[in-house]
Structure 1
Amino acid sequence: MKIRNHDALVSTGERASRELVLGIVDDALDAVDAYRRIRGLMRLEGDVLHVGNRRWDLATKRNVYLIGAGKACNAMAMAVDHVLGDRLTRGIAIVKIAEPGDVFGRTEVHVGGHPLPDRAGHEATRRILDLVDAAGADDLFVVVVSGGSSALMNAPVEPITVEDEALTTEVLLTSGLGIYEINAVRRHISRTNGGRLAERIRARGAELIGIGISDAVGKPPTGDIREPDPGYVSTPIGADRTTLDDARAAIDGHGLRERLPRSVTDFLDRAGAAEETPKEFPENTYFLINTLPDLAEAAVRAAEARGVPAHLLTTFLEGESRDAGTFMASLAREIQTSGRPFAAPCVVVSSGETVTHLRPGDRITGHGGPSQELALGFALAAEAVPGACMYAMDSEGTDGTSLAAGGITDSSSAARAAAAGVDLRAHLRGHASFEALEAMGDVVITGNTGTNLCDLNVLYVPALPEGAS
């Protein structure tokens, strides 16, 4: 199972509800596992590499290289490494966490910093750039990318340092900016992000096959993943839709100029057309194996396979995490007491990317992340919905500043917290959701899940028990 502490999680609280919810999530994660998806997409027959409905004659290639970065890169890079076998000249992958069970043949794996870039990621990126710069027109690059690549594959433009880039990232992530604004800045101060890596490969005349996972809110579900995606954008290998003007507007519109390193603001102020990110790569072939709605749809199918009616509420869930949890508890109460908008029992699935705002003066007393705060928000309001249970997770397996995937809470969680002397509101104020969930036995551990599709929330609402009102 993807969920490593399953048995402990179903030994407390609303056990039947927890068993159902965890089973649904486990099946959904398995359905979108990138290793499984790529192995079904790619195969090698003699000298011919098949990727989806396209093929490449490797007999015409001098070298075949693998490059990877992202929070799901463990599974993605491992799948390509296994398919290519001895035909792979060399591979370099940058991951967030190296798992003991990961087995590679000709790929070196480096652990980089996330969400903040670090020196280890920078050194691994330098090795990637050296590999690209030594390539020629008869070489082929297979590049796998998922969310998190902006931090893990870091190579800031000069004179910006890795430390400057890390501080910039921290300011952007904690200042209430939207992801488009954040990416506009990050991409324009990078030598790899925003399509710069693909631009560098193009300069060498080499060919590129890209395989990506998109965690962007608003991206439609994937269709036939065997067909190349003509609209592939963003990431180090995709065309960039953001502009230098977008980056400048994000900084000035949020009053961040004085909080950012001078090297960053000076560079963006003087940058011109030569520093703009690339806007198209018609010569490359891209495959998109998963988008954010795919995981939510898989969860709906998993619930229905268990005979429970399921509804996909939204794949656009955004806003403050704890408030989203309160809303989900209110929705559960409406369902259970009035049958609106759905009849109980049922499962309600949502996905998106809620956030936790760190405001000036906030005193951080522990660890946690948006999904864990959502789970606590649900717990505080779910006491009035007997048997209700919700699992909120960051689908890649680590949520915020913790190594937890998220939290599972139910109608008994608040009472169990009180009995354990845990003040849920105080933990929310101190952004210490992990410590609260751990004390309650409600923290979920998965490790790398094999995907990276932002947040998944699975809510189960049973029928109102007989005699209850």
Structure 2
Amino acid sequence: MKYIKNADILLKHGDVPAKGKILELLDRLWYEMDSYRIIKNMVKIEDGTLHIGECSWDLCKKKNIYLFGAGKACNAMAMAMDEVLGEHLSKGIISVKIAEPEDKYKNTIAYVGGHPLPNKEGMTAALEIIKMIDDACSDDLFISVISGGSSALLTCSVDGITLEDEICTQDTLLRSGAKIGEINAVRRHISLTNGGRLAERILGKGAELINIIVDDGIGELPLVNRNVPVPYSATPVAEDSTTLQDARDCIENYNLKNRIPKSVIEYLWDDDPKKETPKAFNSGITHFVLNSVPDSCEEALKIAKDMGINAMVFSTFLEGEAREAGYFFGSLAREIQANKRPIVPPCFVFCSGEATTTVLDGCTGKGGPGHELALGFALEVKDIDNVALASVDTEGTDGTTVFAGGIVDTHTIRQIEDKGYDYYEIMRNHDSGGALEAIDSSILTGNTGTNVCDFNVMYIGK
């Protein structure tokens, strides 16, 4: 397999036929969603003209061409654009989550930022991008490559809020159980880069911006045509729909006011209108979306059809506690197998979105929502046969692990018990990643070239 590096190990135990079908589908899915391949197919330069999809730009009319970006799929996106632009590229600066040995850039500097929590190197990348923008002129062209994770990887807080304050704020928010949209409302309003601030800075110089995006927003429709520009909001390079009041509501709704640094609270509760993020840009930006969250399910349906296996999409809007979602998927698998509804087995069931976990202070386990969802599912199906599930973070790292997520079947609970683990202690300590790693049930990919939140796939046999 091209993307799953430990498939042989994963298929040495448990329900091998069921897991094999899931792993084949996942590997083919990651190929279809890889933004390096997509960009190389839709972007080219001919006779000094840059073509992106159905649009074109005369590069002879541009003084400098700058590339910048951040995100968990940024490696692949930046490598593709760096190769296409070649000698036309004046300079590139990006912030990535993991630097792989095979990452190669001709004229782009890659910083390794922090995710899920910011770090100093990500802040350095942000400051370097701001300087690059501030030195630009109206004849320059900026191209951004943005994917999920940019809020943490490209961090530069406003004056008066230190990097340590921002790290504490993001850590508190991520452990609170708040939805990602609520968390983003806070992150954007204390940042000099997020929430459209970089676009605002570029347009203020009179320069032009092309934004190439992998969209990880929950609630979007499947992509119709990636070759055609679309309206877009959120990210550092597009208008922001969240408000200062949304940020305050998040903090108050989850009772975080006494847990977040005083500098952040004082900043957000000051009604200075200059602190609001930009809400509209009239011109100067062209957005291309390569993939969005529901596209993983759309592509999976095509792959399942090619594999000759019945399939359905249950939802592309999944949010909430990961373990509870796992319990539900387990009950759905039992319904399908027992009563052949809402689909007849053998079949796949797909679901995308972004589950979360509420982590109390003092928990020392490792893992992420994908591992926890998978283990919750495993408990529900431990007494039936011929079912399996994989829950993965599509960019290749789930929570605090180096693994994309977990794959489980009806044998998983017995296997972890044989290793001396207690299911309920695992869940109390949020150590689902440690437990699944111990029984060789964590999926290893490295960077995948995409980031469209979580993808869950069940296989239910007869």
TM range (shorter): over 0.9
1:98 aligned onto 2:99:
yes
Any idea what SS the aligned residue of 1:421 has? coil
Moved more, 295-304 or 249-258: 249-258
Q: Which runs of 5+ in 2 are unaligned?
A: none
Report deviation, 1:423.
1.8
Find the aligned partners of 1:13 and 1:270 in 2 and give their Cα distance. Answer: 57
Aligned to 1:258: 258
How far did 1:297 drift? 1.3
- Secondary structure of 2:373's counterpart equals helix
- 1:336 and 1:385 in contact (8 A); partners too: no
Task: Tell me the secondary structure at the aligned position of residue 343 of structure 2.
Answer: coil
Partner in structure 1 of residue 429 of structure 2: 430
The secondary structure found in structure 2 opposite 1:389 is strand
Distance, in Å, in 2 between the alignment partners of 1:234 and 1:310 is 33
Aligned equivalent of 1:238: 238
Whether the 8 Å CA contact 2:95–2:122 is kept in 1: the answer is yes
User: In the alignment, what sits opposite 2:146?
Assistant: 145
State the Cα deviation string for residues 243-263 of structure 1 (Å, max 9, x = none).
112212222333222111111
Q: Distance in 1 between matches of 2:445 and 2:11?
A: 15
Corresponding residue of 1:298: 299
Does residue 202 in structure 1 map to residue 203 in structure 2?
yes
Stretch deviating more after TM superposition (96-105 or 420-429): 420-429
Residue 121 (str. 1) matches residue 122 (str. 2): yes
Q: Is the 8 A contact 1:155 1:162 kept in 2?
A: yes
Deviations along 1:270-303, whole A, 9 cap, x unmatched? Answer: 2421121111123211111110000111112111
Structure 1 window deviating more from structure 2 (419-428 vs 104-113): it is 419-428
Query: C-alpha separation between the residues in 2 aligned to 1:405 and 1:115?
Result: 14
C-alpha distance in structure 2 between counterparts of 1:256 and 1:413, whole Å: 37
Matches within 5 A, 1:269-284: 269-283=269-283, 284=285
2:317 alignment partner in structure 1: 316
Distance in 1, matches of 2:233 and 2:174, equals 21
**Equivalent residue for 1:327?**
328
Residue 466 of structure 1: aligned partner? none
User: Within 1, Cα distance between the matches of 2:99 and 2:382?
Assistant: 39
CA distance in 2, matches of 1:348, 1:445: 22
Residue 193 of structure 2 aligns with an amino acid whose one-letter code is T
Structure 1 counterpart SS, 2:355: coil
Query: Post-superposition shift, 1:84?
Result: 0.4
Query: Contact 1:333–1:384 at 8 Å: present in 2 too?
Result: no
- Verify: 1:163 aligned to 2:164, yes or no: yes
Greater Cα shift, 217-226 or 263-272: 263-272
Partners of 1:28 and 1:384 in 2: CA distance: 30
Give the paired residue count.
460
In 1, distance between residues paired with 2:270 and 2:317? 36
Q: Please report how far the alpha carbon of residue 384 of structure 1 lies from its aligned counterpart in structure 2 after TM superposition.
A: 2.4
Residue identity in the other structure for 1:251: I
Shift of 1:449: 0.7
Which stretch shifts more, 174-183 or 151-160?
174-183
Amino acid of the structure 1 residue aligned with 2:301: V
- For 2:382, what is the secondary structure of its paired residue? helix
Q: In the alignment, is residue 382 of structure 1 matched against residue 381 of structure 2?
A: yes
Q: Residues 30-79 of structure 1, C-alpha deviation per residue, up to 9 Å, x if partnerless?
A: 11111111112211112100011110000111110000100110111111
1:362-401 maps to which residues of 2 (within 5 A)?
363-401=362-400
Preserved CA contact (<8 Å) 2:337 2:345: yes
Contact (CA 8 Å) 1:371, 1:407: kept in 2 or not?
yes
1:86 aligns with 87
C-alpha distance in 1 between matches for 2:405 and 2:251: 31
Alignment-derived partner of residue 131 in structure 1 = 132
Give secondary structure in 2 for the equivalent of 1:418.
helix
Structure 1 equivalent of residue 174 of structure 2: 173
1:381 and 1:404 map into 2 onto residues whose CA distance is 23
Per the alignment, residue 31 of structure 2 pairs with: 30
- AA matched with 2:256: L
TM-score, L = length of structure 1: 0.96
CA contact (8 A) 1:328 1:378 kept: yes
- Match for residue 39 of structure 1? 40
TM-score of the aligned structures, taking structure 2 as reference length: 0.98
- Contact 1:372-1:407 at 8 Å conserved across structures: yes
Distance 2:19 2:174 in 1: 32
Contact 2:155-2:191 at 8 Å conserved across structures: yes
CA contact (8 A) 1:396 1:451 kept: yes
Q: Distance in 2 between matches of 1:35 and 1:459?
A: 28
Distance 1:418 1:151 in 2: 37
CA distance in 1, matches of 2:385, 2:183: 41
CA distance in 2, matches of 1:426, 1:328: 21
Measured in 2, the distance between the counterparts of 1:112 and 1:139 equals 26
**Equivalent residue letter for 1:444:** I
Q: Give distance in 1, aligned partners of 2:429 and 2:345.
A: 35
SS at match of 1:400: coil
Distance in 1 (CA, whole Å) between partners of 2:422 and 2:303 is 35
Structure 2 residue 112 is the aligned partner of structure 1 residue 111? yes
Is the deviation greater in 394-403 or in 413-422? 413-422
Equivalent AA in structure 2 for residue 359 of structure 1 = L
After superposition, the C-alpha distances for 1:3-27 in whole angstroms (9 at most, x for unaligned) are 1101111111111111110000111
1:247 aligns with 2:247: yes
* Structure 1 residue 356 corresponds to structure 2 residue 384: no
Cα root mean square deviation, aligned: 1.1
C-alpha contact 2:179 2:319 (8 A) present in aligned 1: no
Query: What's the % identity of the aligned pairs?
Result: 48
Letter aligned with residue 5 of structure 1: N
Distance of 1:138 and 1:65 partners within structure 2: 11
One-letter amino acid of the structure 2 residue matched with residue 453 of structure 1: V
* Alpha-carbon distance in structure 2 between the residues aligned to 1:256 and 1:27: 42
Aligned residue identity for 1:123: T
Write the letter of the residue equivalent to 1:434.
G
The one-letter code matched in structure 1 to 2:269 is: D
Q: Which amino acid aligns with 2:449?
A: G
Give the 3 Å change call, closer, same or farther, for CA 253–421 of structure 1 in structure 2: closer
Amino acid paired to 1:2: Y
User: Would the aligned equivalents of 2:179 and 2:356 in 1 still touch at CA under 8 Å?
Assistant: no
